[in-house]
Amino acid sequence: MAKERKPDWHTLSGLPLPLSLNPEDGITDLPPAGQAPYTRGIHETMYRSRLWTMRQYAGFSSAEATNERFKLLLERGQMGLSVAFDLPTQLGLDADDELSFGEVGKVGVSISSVEDMKILFDGIPLDAVSTSMTINAPAMVLLGMYIVAAEEQGASMADLKGTIQNDILKEYIARGTYVFPPKQSMRLITDIFEFCASHVPKWNTISISGYHIREAGSTAIQEVAFTLANALAYVEAAIATGLHIDTFAPRLSFFFNCHNDFFEEIAKFRAARTLWHDLMTTRYAPENPKSSMLRFHTQVAGVSLTAQQPLNNVARVTIQALAAVLGGTQSLHTNSYDEALGLPTEASATVALRTQQIIAEESGVADTVDPIAGSWHVEQLTKKIYDSAMELINEIEDKGGALAAIEQGWQQQEIHLSAYQYLNEIEKNQRNIVGVNYGTMDETEGIPIMKTDATLGERQTERLAALRSSRDASAVSLALDAVRQAAEDGTNLFPVVIDAVRHRATLGEIMNAMKDDFGTYMAPSGF
C-alpha cells in the first residue's frame, strides 16, 4: 500500500475516516479501488496517498508571456503544465504564413521553431516537470521540439514526463484542426507510439479526448462511447503495425469533460473505467494490468460557462471539479470565470487554481476512496451509462469501426442532433441556465478582459527571418528531404523529424515536407 499523505484521517468533528467502504462492509459488491475492473478507481488508496495533478491549461500571445504565466502558476501551487497553442500552430503553420495572419497568439501560444519552445520553458527544468500539450495534427513536430529543447537544457528524452493529445479522430468528429488524410494521420500516431516506447518511455503518447466531443454538444453517454471507440481504433492501428498491446497500451491516456449534471458525471467516469477494462481484457488479453487501466485528465465544461453574470461561473466550475474528483480523475483543469469573454486574466486563473486547492485541502472529499460508492442513484447511473455506451460502441463496430463511421459522418450527425436538442430545451425554457434564461438581471459593471499583443505576428515574423538567416540552410534542406523520404518509404518519421528540429527547421517547413507525400484533407460537406 502506498504511503498516505496524513498520519490519521478524521472529519472536522473527529469521526474516524476509513480508507474506503469495501464489499465486506456490506456497502457495495464492487471490488475495491486498485482492483479490476477499476470502477472505484485505479489506485488502492487514491488521493489518500497522492492528490490529482492540478494542471491548469495556459497559453497566449508569445512564448515569453506564456512562460511568465507558467512560472506564476507553478509558484502558486500548480503541479504540472498544460500548453495551449494558437490556431496556426495547431494547424502546422508558421507564424509568418499568410494563412496565419490575424490569428497569431490569439487562442494560445505561438510556436514556430525549437527556439520558441526553448523560450516557452526557459527556467523550467523539463526533466522535473510534467507537461501536457494540446496538439494533434502536428503533435510529432511539437513533441520533437520539446525533446530538443530538453536536450539543450541537458535532459535526456528518457526522463521526460508528460502527454501529447495526438488524437486526430476526434478532430474529424468535433474539433476540425486536422491537416492530413485519416490514413496518414493514423500512421503518424503509430510512429509516435513505436518511437516513444523505446526512447521516451515515461511519455503518454496520446490523450484520447472526449472533451471536445462533449463541447461540440454530445451527451455523456456519447462522450464515453465515441472516445472509447476512437481508442479501440488506435489500438487496432498499433497492433496492425506489429506492436504488442503491452508495448504501448500502458501509455494510453484519456481526457474527459465534466459537465453540470453532478451525479451523471461521477457515474460517467466510473462507467468509462469499467468499460475500458472490459473491452481491453476481452479483446486483447494484455498481461500488464496497466494496459487495461483507464487513466484520465479532466477539464470542466467550457461550453457551460456564461458571458452573462460571469462570476456565477465560479460556482459552476466548483461543482464540476468536485464531480471530477469524486469520479476519480488523475489530473484536473478548472476553467476561469471569465473564459466566456476572453483569455483568463492572472486573477481569474488564480481563482481557478485555488478552487482545486480548496476542494483538495478543505472539503474532505479526497480523504477516502470512492465516497459515492453504494449510492443507489450513482450505481444505477453507472450501469446505465456502461450499457448504453457499449450499445453505441457496438453500433460503431457494425459500421466498420470508428474511422469508417467518421468517414460516413455518423458521429458528427449524432452530436449535431444532441446539441440541437439541448439548445432547443434552453430556448423553450425547458432547461434553466442561470443568467441566460433564468435569474436574469441588468448588468452594468463589467469585469477586466485580457487582451493579447496585436503586434505579435510582426515580431514572430521577424524572429523567423532571423532564424532562417542564421541557420545552416543546406543542413536544413537535407533534413527536410529526409522527412519527405521517410514519409514516402514508410520508415518511422519521428527520428528524422527530431533531426530536422535540431537543424532549426520550422514547424511549417516540416509539415510541408510531409504534405508533399501525404497531401491534405478536407471533410465532405456537412460533416
Q: Where are the domains of the chain?
A: 37-427, 471-518
| H-run or E-run covering 198 | helix 182-199
Closest CA to 486 of 199, 195, 270, 253: 195
SS3 assignment, position 96: coil
Q: What are phi and psi of 487, to 5 degrees?
A: -60, -40
Q: What is the pLDDT of residues 109-135, one digit of tens each?
A: 999 999 999 999 999 999 999 999 999
Closest CA to 310 of 434, 425, 432, 212: 434
Q: What is the pLDDT of residues 415-426, one digit of tens each?
A: 999 999 999 999
Q: What is the pLDDT of residues 185-197, one digit of tens each?
A: 999 999 999 999 9
The contacts of residue 268 (CB under 8 Å, 6+ apart) are: 220, 221, 223, 224, 256, 327, 385
The x, y and z cell numbers of residue 487, run together, are: 514519409
Confidence label for 10 from pLDDT (cuts 50, 70 and 90) = confident
- Alpha carbon distance 233, 206 (integer Å): 13
**Which residue type does 18 have?**
P
The x, y and z cell numbers of residue 430, run together, are: 425547458
Residue 354 has pLDDT above 70, yes or no: yes
pLDDT for res 241: 95
Whether the Cβ atoms of residue 343 and residue 61 lie closer than 8 Å to each other: no
pLDDT for res 57: 87
Confidence label for 451 from pLDDT (cuts 50, 70 and 90) = confident
pLDDT for res 23: 56
Taking residues 77-103, what's their average pLDDT? 95
SS3 assignment, position 82: strand
Q: What is the pLDDT of residues 204-236, one digit of tens each?
A: 999 999 999 999 999 999 999 999 999 999 999
Dihedral of the alpha carbons of 487, 490, 492, 494, in degrees to the nearest 10: 10
Write b or e for each residue in 199-232: b if 16 or more Cβ atoms lie within 10 A of its Cβ, otherwise e: bbeebbbbbbbbbbbbbbbbbbbbbbbbbbbbbb
Number of H helices, E strands in the chain: 19, 10
Q: What is the pLDDT of residues 258-306, one digit of tens each?
A: 999 999 999 999 999 999 999 999 999 999 999 999 999 999 999 999 9
Residue 34 has pLDDT above 80, yes or no: yes
pTM: 0.94
Closest CA to 112 of 503, 467, 383: 467
Pairing of strands 252-258, 296-300: parallel
- Alpha carbon distance 218, 228 (integer Å): 14
Q: What is the pLDDT of residues 129-164, one digit of tens each?
A: 999 999 999 999 999 999 999 999 999 999 999 999
Q: What are phi and psi of 381, to 5 degrees?
A: -65, -40
**CA dist 282 → 451, 501, 519 (Å):** 51, 41, 37
- Alpha carbon distance 487, 489 (integer Å): 6
Q: What is the CATH number of domain 37-427?
A: 3.20.20.240
Instruction: Give the distance, in angstroms, between the CA of residue 144 and the centroid of all CA atoms in the same chain.
Output: 18
pLDDT for res 1: 61
Q: What is the pLDDT of residues 294-337, one digit of tens each?
A: 999 999 999 999 999 999 999 999 999 999 999 999 999 999 99
Nearest-Å Rg of the Cα atoms of the chain is 23
Dihedral of the alpha carbons of 510, 512, 514, 517, in degrees to the nearest 10: -150
Task: Check residue 300 and report its DSSP letter.
Answer: E
**CA dist 498 → 147, 195, 324, 502 (Å):** 8, 11, 36, 6
Whether the Cβ atoms of residue 152 and residue 113 lie closer than 8 Å to each other: no
pLDDT for res 21: 67
| pLDDT mean across residues, the chain | 94
pLDDT for res 450: 86
Closest CA to 339 of 326, 351, 327: 351
Closest CA to 313 of 141, 222, 158, 436: 436
Closest CA to 57 of 192, 138, 169, 163: 163
SS3 assignment, position 156: coil
The x, y and z cell numbers of residue 372, run together, are: 459515492
Q: What are phi and psi of 15, to 5 degrees?
A: -75, 135
